[in-house]
A and B are shown apart, each in its own frame.
Chain A
Amino acid sequence: MADASAVAVRRPRNSAWPSPASLILTAVVVAGVFAFPWLNPGYRALSFAVTTGVTAIVLYGMAIPFGQAGIMSLGYAGLMGFGAYTAAILSRDFGMNMWEAMPFSALVAALAAGLFGLPSLRISGHHFAITTYVMCELLRIALINGGKFTGAATGLDLPPIGTVLGVKLDKLSNTYLLVAAFMFISMLAAYCVARSRYGRTLRSIRENEQLARSIGVNTNMHKVGAFTLSGLFAGVGGALQAYNFRHISPDLYGGAISLYFALMVMLGGPRTIFGPLAGAIIVTFLPEVMRVDPVDSRIAYGLALIAVVMLLPGGVIAAAGRGYQWAVRALLGTRPKAGSADAGASWT
């Protein structure tokens, strides 16, 4: 039955180790991110960098149910809100610092994520996405009307993070480094999930749910599990955000913000290592730092999203990876080896 005329398509093999090119790229990115404070960026840029980092953490969480299992949820700002408000309330009522509150934030957000993910078992695709958007808005309304408990529309205040390993975190650059560390941990975690057996199982659900069930995959459990896992990331991000900016309010966690999260992760590419980070940087960091008019920048990335969705599936990073491969081939005149992995591009 082997059709001799079938052209063998060159695809990266899921080899055990990433290629030298992607290792180098990763090292460059890590070095660049950590070296940033020493480039004299200024308070404003550093502050936006912290926001970007916190956002990227949530996006890496999103990469698991969305990038791997293929289910889009527009409720992640709400999950982040669960984390942030848990931290704020614990710090206000029990005097907890960030390290004590963060596990609770992560847990609460994970439980909420699992709960909000349950409808995905009954309703499909965009209907589920709309439902999550609506649930996020419901949360925001509940927070505004929560009276003293949630601080209502004004929100809540928090104390600073405190010291970690003897390093004082009152300097913004130290906070930045802390957030950057968390961000890389999230990146690594998401990468490990994607490369693992668990990631393959989630991808099988995205590709053909019925077939996955026939070979014994408990698709319902895995879907809810993927959401729960993503909630952990959102909770951590929310706690970091809360203690970093010292003030949170319901408008930070509404449906519109969730839309921006979805935009970022789609723009960057949910199935690439650097996609979520790139999406966060493009949407959150670049416009502010380049002092682009906020209205113009939103028009720009709205258009960018349309362009990416229609023309560059997989996001900007995946397209960049393809461009890189094309350039390598053009410059070196070589054919890519069957086992070569795309540098920085699709990990799945």
Chain B
Amino acid sequence: MATLEIRGLRKTFGGVVALAGVDVTIQSGEILGIIGPNGSGKTTLFNTVCGVYKPNGGTIRWNGVDIAGKPSYAIGCLGLGRTFQQAMSFPALTVRENVQIAIEHGSRRAHGLGPRWSSPEELLEFVGLGGFADEVASVMPFGNLRRLGVAVALGGRPAQLLLDEPAAGLNEGESVQLIHLLRRAHELGVGICIIDHHVGLMAELCARLAVLHFGNKIADGPTEAVLNDPKVIEVYLGGDE
């Protein structure tokens, strides 16, 4: 089981405090969801943990290793993977090449990481893109692009995956398929931590929820409890029509 321990994480941009000392523990055994209003610091949290930003305070320990301030590629090498809010891919390359690159970089790592893929085809079958191997990524429909993003992240053999709004832009049917995909990945042994705004999706997928508000964590616990927490309802859910 892989553990990501975040303690007192602070991140400021000039005068703006994006993260005001966040404590959260993410274990690969359970699916954790992170919700909160826009601007509450969710993406900043992922970016800081994954080395895109340097933290201004606090610690981040991944499987006991202090990773705060490390460059993002180094963190990717350690088995902590992520996807991005925008659907990212290597646009001019084929779908196969997209995951092939990920697998090639995931394969020569230390042990204790997530599941291995013996070939790009195997990974593509797993995410449901088996028939699209020769397509160029840039012409793919948006839904497939989202799947490709997950595939690329999985290729890197992560023990824990941080997904930033992976369902954004997907319709009902596609979102449901995404949930199934993430569950299957979790069953394979990849930890899943997901930011999203689809409360229904989160409720179905996540055993535990954490809620961010203005850079602070205001709730953290089993999904049911958090969704019924009055603070959470006031700040986030109550505004939902």
Query: Which residues from chain A sit less than 8 Å from chain B, CB to CB?
Result: 1-3, 6-11, 13-14, 197, 200-201, 203-204, 207-208, 210-219, 338
Contact = CB atoms under 8 A, between A and B. Distances in A.
Interface on chain B toward A: helix, strand, loop, or mixed SS? Answer: helix
Prevailing SS type, chain A contact patch: loop
Contacts of B134: 8-11, 13, 338
Given A6-B141, A201-B101, A216 B136 contact: no
A1 B177 contact: yes
The 5 A-B pairs of least Cβ separation, nearest first, read A207-B90, A216-B76, A1-B143, A216-B77, A215-B156
Nearest to B79: A216
A2 B145 CA distance: 10
B147 A215 contact: no
Contacts of B92: 203, 207
A14 B155 CA distance: 19
A61 B209 CA distance: 52
Given A9-B135, A215-B106, 9 more contacts: A1-B147, A1-B173, A6-B144, A204-B90, A204-B101, A210-B88, A211-B88, A216-B105, A219-B73
B225 interface: no
Interface residues of B, number: 50
A242 B90 CA distance: 41
28 contacts: A1-B143, A1-B177, A2-B144, A3-B141, A6-B132, A6-B144, A11-B135, A13-B94, A197-B104, A200-B97, A200-B100, A200-B101, A204-B90, A204-B93, A207-B89, A210-B88, A211-B89, A211-B152, A213-B76, A214-B81, A216-B76, A216-B105, A216-B106, A216-B156, A217-B105, A218-B71, A218-B73, A218-B74
Contacts of A207: 89-93
Nearest to B143: A1
B42 interface: no
Contacts of B139: 6-7, 9
B100 to A, nearest CB: 7
A214 B50 contact: yes
B50 to A, nearest CB: 7
Nearest to A198: B104
A6 B178 CA distance: 19
Interface in B129-160: 129, 131-132, 134-136, 139-141, 143-144, 146-147, 152-153, 155-156
B163 to A, nearest CB: 12
B104 to A, nearest CB: 5
A284 to B, nearest CB: 30
B214 interface: no
Contact of B73 (A1, A11, A208, A213): A213
Given A2-B128, A204-B90, A208-B89, A214 B76 contact: yes
B10 interface: no
B208 interface: no
B82 interface: yes
Contact of B136 (A9, A197, A200, A212): A9
A8 B100 CA distance: 20
Interface string B169-198: 010011001100000000000000000000
Interface in B90-134: 90-94, 96-97, 100-102, 104-106, 109, 128-129, 131-132, 134
A197 B97 CA distance: 10
Given A214-B76, A218-B73, A6 B84 contact: no
Contacts of A2: 128-129, 131-132, 144
Contact of B97 (A8, A9, A14, A215): A14
Given A1-B143, A1-B174, A11-B136, A214 B97 contact: no
Given A3-B141, A11-B135, A215-B152, A201 B105 contact: yes
B72 interface: yes
